[in-house]
């Protein structure tokens, strides 16, 4: 046969032709290693063939294809042909999909280190971390996890964690849309369908919410059937997402119905109603729906679980203060103090009754300021600092009183220097902690001290958390009060508003800085 002919006897031209043909065949073979969608669809169809041998060959071929067949198999896992669905699910369990990719950032890779070895709650904590990484760098990885997770219920937990932490600012929402499109458009996972459809609603205020509503109703039906493929935690998150979307579209009645159903499910859960409820309250608070968030916090209090009552009141107070509703904030802290009974804030190793009292006096001072009651303002701030010399907002407010007596001013300046010294040490000891840098910059930049040092720490906080409205707010305050750079203050505060669009205090300061800039131009 020609194939056994010694190479030495083959003419050179024939050898060249042979190598050319071999090269062509190798190229064709390489191309054939990349199966088309039609090839994969045909193999999946063969998983249900009447001939056992055909079914097995198709399964073996799909197993060899591995990642290339994965998306199609997630769809086949829901095939009405039970044989196809069963074999597809088996293949999904055997195909190893990478948790991280080379294109992932180092922060994403570090976040997902040893992810597969973690317990469920720890894995979900990593998903939450991914959703908070700067500039949306963790969004695609979070979506990927919902897609490659073989446990149906865990895939749904991941998806609802993504929904609970869905960005509210425009840049984040755009990045989230891109992540969903890139990772989930070809997925057959039920959890992926939720994310794809909510991304559709989030990107178009006129989009019909009916398909997403149907998905939520399907899941609620599974819950009523006590299916192991869902749970209260999943349905609560879906109902909250649906209620929020309906509210944006002016559908107040169905929104209210779904919100109340979410509360009912959350508080009926036998193990951890408070944790469900705090997630729900945080969700609505971050979207500016503070009355709904307040309802949830109040229900936690009414539920009577001593571990969470005081914390619920504390969160309620801070939310009301941000909304400029300081009388309600005071009432919430009165309830907190009533539940403490001389103890530290339950569920926290940080806040004592003295700190809660100090915060209450600060809120009372805010009320006095709004009523132009100068003496009461001063008295409430002094009472706040008697309870807690480290109540930073009270230190700042007292320092800013223009006609303060000299002994009082000296005393408050000394207290500021003491607080700044402590916060400086904390920031220097934790160079990667944005909150530590932010707190130091906040107290110094708003009062007295080295303003260049305050600026350095404020910039570091923003570097660590570039999409944090709170950190940008602090930087703007350093520019405005510390460095008297009104232009940069306005520019920075505008970014703070962009990333925290529902914060009343941040928006209020933006208007104040803009007004100052206008007056400066007039002069």
In this predicted structure, the answer to whether residue 16 has a pLDDT above a threshold of 60 is no
Structure confidence at residue 522 (pLDDT):
64
- The band of 20, judged by pLDDT with boundaries at 50, 70 and 90, is very low
Among 109-118, 136-145, 261-270, where is mean pLDDT lowest?
261-270
Structural domains of the chain sorted by starting position, each given as residue range(s) with its CATH number in brackets:
35-96 (1.25.10), 419-523 (1.25.40.10)
pTM: 0.83
Residue range 94-123: average pLDDT? 92
Percent of the chain scoring above 90 in pLDDT: 69
Q: Tell me how many degrees the CA angle 168-505-164 measures, rounded to the nearest 5.
A: 25
In this predicted structure, the answer to whether residue 146 has a pLDDT above a threshold of 80 is yes
Residue 481 tokens read as 């009060």
Q: Where are the alpha helices (DSSP H) in 77-119?
A: 82-94, 106-111
pLDDT digits (tens, 9 = 90+) for 193-234: 999 999 999 999 899 999 999 999 999 999 999 999 999 999
CB proximity list for 306: less than 8 A, separation 6 or greater: 339, 346
Residue range 443-467: average pLDDT? 97
The mean predicted confidence, pLDDT, of the chain is 87
d(Cα 131, Cα 471) in Å, to the nearest integer? 18
pLDDT digits (tens, 9 = 90+) for 55-64: 778 777 877 7
- Identify whether the C-beta of residue 74 lies closer than 8 Å to the C-beta of residue 147: yes
Give the SS3 label for residue 114.
Answer: coil
H or E segment at 495? helix 486-499
Structure confidence at residue 343 (pLDDT):
54
Give the SS3 label for residue 372.
Answer: coil
H or E segment at 239? helix 232-248
- The band of 22, judged by pLDDT with boundaries at 50, 70 and 90, is very low
pLDDT digits (tens, 9 = 90+) for 166-186: 999 999 999 999 999 999 988
Question: For the purposes of burial, counting CB atoms within 10 Å of the CB of 245, is it exposed (0-12), middle (13-18) or buried (19 or more)?
Answer: buried
Residue range 46-51: average pLDDT? 78
User: What is the residue whose two structure tokens read 């209090």?
Assistant: 301
- Identify whether the C-beta of residue 499 lies closer than 8 Å to the C-beta of residue 467: yes
Residue range 463-468: average pLDDT? 94
Minimal CA–CA distance to 298: which of 288, 284, 287? 284
Higher pLDDT, 189 or 481: 481
CB proximity list for 119: less than 8 A, separation 6 or greater: none
Higher pLDDT, 92 or 167: 167
Residue 496 tokens read as 């703070």
- The band of 344, judged by pLDDT with boundaries at 50, 70 and 90, is low
Structure confidence at residue 404 (pLDDT):
92
pLDDT digits (tens, 9 = 90+) for 477-491: 999 999 999 999 999
In this predicted structure, the answer to whether residue 348 has a pLDDT above a threshold of 80 is no
Residue 304, sorted as left (phi over 0), alpha (psi -120 to 50) or beta, turns out to be: left
User: What is the residue whose two structure tokens read 């109540």?
Assistant: 391
pLDDT digits (tens, 9 = 90+) for 95-108: 788 899 999 999 99
d(Cα 46, Cα 485) in Å, to the nearest integer? 71
Higher pLDDT, 417 or 93: 417
In this predicted structure, the answer to whether residue 371 has a pLDDT above a threshold of 80 is yes
């Amino acid at each position: 046969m020609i194939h056994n002919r010694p190479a030495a006897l083959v003419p050179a031209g024939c050898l060249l032709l042979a190598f050319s043909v071999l090269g062509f065949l190798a190229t064709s073979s390489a191309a054939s290693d990349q199966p088309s969608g039609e090839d994969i669809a045909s193999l999946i169809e063969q998983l249900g063939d009447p001939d056992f041998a055909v079914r097995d060959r198709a399964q073996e071929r799909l197993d060899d294809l591995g990642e290339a067949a994965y998306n199609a198999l997630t769809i086949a896992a829901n095939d009405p042909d039970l044989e196809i669905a069963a074999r597809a699910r088996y293949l999904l369990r055997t195909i190893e999909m990478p948790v991280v990719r080379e294109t992932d950032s180092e922060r994403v890779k570090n976040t997902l280190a040893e992810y597969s070895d973690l317990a469920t709650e720890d894995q979900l904590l990593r998903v939450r971390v991914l959703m908070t990484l700067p500039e949306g760098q963790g969004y695609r990885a979070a979506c990927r996890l919902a897609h490659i997770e073989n446990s149906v219920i865990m895939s749904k937990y991941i998806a609802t964690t993504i929904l609970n932490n869905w960005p509210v600012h425009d840049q984040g929402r755009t990045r989230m849309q891109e992540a969903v499109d890139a990772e989930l458009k070809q997925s057959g996972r039920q959890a992926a369908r939720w994310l794809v459809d909510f991304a559709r609603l989030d990107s178009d205020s006129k989009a019909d919410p009916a398909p997403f509503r149907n998905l939520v109703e399907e899941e609620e039906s599974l819950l009523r059937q006590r299916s192991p493929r869902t749970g209260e935690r999943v349905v609560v998150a879906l109902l909250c997402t649906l209620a929020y979307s309906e509210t944006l579209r002016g559908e107040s009645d169905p929104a209210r119905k779904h919100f109340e159903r979410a509360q009912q499910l959350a508080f009926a859960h036998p193990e951890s109603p408070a944790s469900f409820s705090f997630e729900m309250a945080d969700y609505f608070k971050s979207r500016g729906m503070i009355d709904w968030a307040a309802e949830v916090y109040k229900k936690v209090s009414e539920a009577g679980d001593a571990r969470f009552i005081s914390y619920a009141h504390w969160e309620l107070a801070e939310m009301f203060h941000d909304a400029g509703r300081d009388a309600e904030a005071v009432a919430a802290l009165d309830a907190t103090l009533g539940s403490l009974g001389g103890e530290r804030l339950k569920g926290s190793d940080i806040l004592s009754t003295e700190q809660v009292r100090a915060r209450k006096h600060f809120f009372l001072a805010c009320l006095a300021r709004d009523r132009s009651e100068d003496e009461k303002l001063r008295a409430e701030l002094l009472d706040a600092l008697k309870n807690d010399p480290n109540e930073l907002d009270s230190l700042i407010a007292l320092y800013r009183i223009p006609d303060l007596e000299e002994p009082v001013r000296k005393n408050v300046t000394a207290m500021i220097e003491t607080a700044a010294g402590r916060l400086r040490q904390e920031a220097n000891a934790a160079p990667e902690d944005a909150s530590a840098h932010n707190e130091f910059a906040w107290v110094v930049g708003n009062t007295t001290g080295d303003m260049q040092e305050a600026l350095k720490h404020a910039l570091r906080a923003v570097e660590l958390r570039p999409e944090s409205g709170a950190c940008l707010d602090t930087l703007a305050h350093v520019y405005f009060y510390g460095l008297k750079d009104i232009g940069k203050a306005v520019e920075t505060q505008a970014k703070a508003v962009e990333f925290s669009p529902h914060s009343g205090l941040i928006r209020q300061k933006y208007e104040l800085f803009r007004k100052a800039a206008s007056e400066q131009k007039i002069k």
